[in-house]
Amino acid sequence: MEDENIALNSVLGLELNRVFFAVRETTNKQKIIEFAREVLESERTELPDSVSPDGPAR
């Protein structure tokens, strides 16, 4: 499962990078950056909930 998440995050990161460089307007690039930051922040707040009491899964 963790390998699938890593692969998905890699694909999403590459796609976000492609879209970012395809967009020409600075305002729209800023919106992409803000969206990516919001996603990262929401992921970080969910991480502590996903750790088991015995520690992270291996």
The dihedral of CA 41, 43, 48, 54: what is its sign?
negative
Provide the token pair at 16.
Answer: 């976000």
Give dist(CA 18, CA 7) in Å, integer.
17
Q: What is the DSSP letter of 22?
A: H
**Greater model confidence, 56 or 39:** 39
Task: Check residue 50 and give its pLDDT.
Answer: 55
Task: Check residue 56 and give its pLDDT.
Answer: 55
User: What region does 18 belong to: left with phi over 0, alpha with psi -120 to 50, or beta?
Assistant: alpha
pLDDT tens for 2-54 read: 888 888 888 888 998 899 899 999 999 999 889 889 988 888 887 665 555 55
